[in-house]
């Protein structure tokens, strides 16, 4: 198959110039543009996306890939992304992809059905994704990042968030501290855990492995895990949960055993989804600035649509500990 590299060689220009011509950029001199177009014709270069972009310039549609829409964090994030796109004059189309790799979405980008993609639940880079990024395709990773990939990424400082929770619990005097982990393949889960563990160790209270369990970012798994922890002879007096959905499950697990939060056990979540602040839960959590992150991802995507040669940018938002009723008890349990 003929590639833009072949076209560039034939026209005696850089691949970037070919890319700029495809985008209709006004940074290319008219005679260069004509030479590139002639080379495309000669080489028989006809990518769908390119053909479409040249015809209509843009589809004004951005694809968003998500893995688990039943975790209330994602509908909130998607709503924010949809609003940010609308402000930018674009529409959103969603792929709920269990593989999180979004191969269908990548194909849609390739065929010019969408202008760009935002991945919200990336867990590992696929060969298809790597290829798309090497071509300079407009793709942004939002919420979950990939250290191994050099591309536009918008995340929050999950390490700092985990550390803040460790400091808060130790300062409150807790010694039996529990932890409900998230799935290892999610960067958010890994970073929150590392920050929490490292800071606890630094403060001389290393996490006791027998007080940790898998929460799996799922209400039912967290519910069972919390009941297990609370049924021990010497149960934890505080449990940090790797996200808010896990914390909701942990609170419900405690409630199901007749335990009171925070009187019998403190519970802390992560994300600050709307539900965390609802009166029945009132959960202390670490806030991610969802609307700001969504706007940043959309902005990075716009900029890359304008100029695919921009260097990869990684934008890190601060996290903030929000104290609520699930811990705000004057005395430790």
Residues that bind its own copies (CB under 8 A): 61, 69-70, 72, 74-76, 78-79, 82, 91-96, 104, 113, 219, 248, 251-253, 255-256, 274, 278-281
Identify which of 62, 66, 12, 80 has the alpha carbon closest to the alpha carbon of residue 42.
12
Smallest separation, CB 69 to its own copies (Å): 4
Nearer to its own copies, 97 or 208 (CB): 97
CB atoms within 10 A of CB 318: 12
Q: Residue 61: beta bridge partners?
A: 91
Smallest separation, CB 212 to its own copies (Å): 23
Nearer to its own copies, 170 or 294 (CB): 294
Nearer to its own copies, 27 or 91 (CB): 91
Which helix (H) or strand (E) element contains residue 292? Answer: helix 290-306
* Contact status, residue 313 vs residue 306, Cβ threshold 8 Å: no
Smallest separation, CB 94 to its own copies (Å): 4
Nearer to its own copies, 113 or 208 (CB): 113
Tokens 């011509």 belong to 21
Distances (CA, A) of 250 to 60, 76, 187, 211, 262: 42, 21, 22, 13, 12
Nearer to its own copies, 13 or 283 (CB): 283
- Between CA 21 and CA 7 the distance in angstroms is 11
Smallest separation, CB 289 to its own copies (Å): 17
Smallest separation, CB 24 to its own copies (Å): 21
Q: Angle 129-134-140 (CA atoms, 0-180°, nearest 5)?
A: 55
């Amino acid at each position: 198959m003929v590639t833009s590299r072949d076209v560039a060689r034939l026209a005696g220009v850089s691949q970037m110039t070919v890319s700029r011509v495809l985008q209709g950029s006004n940074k290319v001199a008219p005679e260069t543009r004509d030479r590139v177009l002639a080379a495309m014709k000669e080489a028989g270069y006809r990518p769908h996306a390119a053909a479409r972009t040249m015809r209509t310039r843009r589809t004004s549609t951005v694809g968003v890939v998500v893995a688990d829409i039943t975790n209330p964090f994602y509908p909130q994030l998607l709503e924010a992304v949809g609003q940010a796109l609308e402000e930018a004059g674009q529409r959103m189309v969603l792929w709920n992809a269990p593989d999180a790799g979004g191969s269908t979405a990548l194909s849609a980008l390739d065929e010019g059905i969408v202008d760009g993609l935002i991945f919200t639940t990336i867990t590992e880079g696929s060969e298809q994704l790597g290829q798309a990024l090497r071509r300079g395709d407009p793709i942004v990773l939002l919420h979950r990042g990939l250290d191994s990939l050099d591309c536009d990424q918008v995340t929050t400082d999950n390490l700092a968030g985990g550390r803040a929770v460790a400091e808060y619990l130790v300062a409150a005097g807790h010694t039996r501290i529990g932890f409900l982990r998230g799935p290892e393949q999610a960067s958010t889960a890994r970073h929150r855990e590392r920050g929490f563990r490292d800071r606890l160790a630094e403060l001389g209270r290393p996490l006791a492995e027998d007080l940790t369990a898998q929460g799996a970012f799922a209400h039912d798994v967290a519910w069972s895990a919390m009941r297990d922890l609370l049924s021990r002879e010497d149960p934890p007096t505080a449990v940090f949960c790797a996200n808010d959905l896990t914390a909701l499950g942990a609170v419900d697990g405690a409630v199901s055993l007749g335990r009171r939060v925070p009187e019998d056990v403190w519970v802390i979540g992560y994300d600050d989804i709307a539900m965390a602040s609802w009166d029945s839960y009132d959960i202390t959590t670490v806030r991610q600035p969802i609307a700001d992150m969504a706007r940043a991802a959309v902005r990075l995507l716009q900029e890359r649509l304008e100029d695919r040669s921009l260097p990869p940018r990684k934008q890190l938002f601060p996290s903030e500990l929000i104290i609520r009723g699930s811990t705000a008890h004057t005395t430790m349990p």
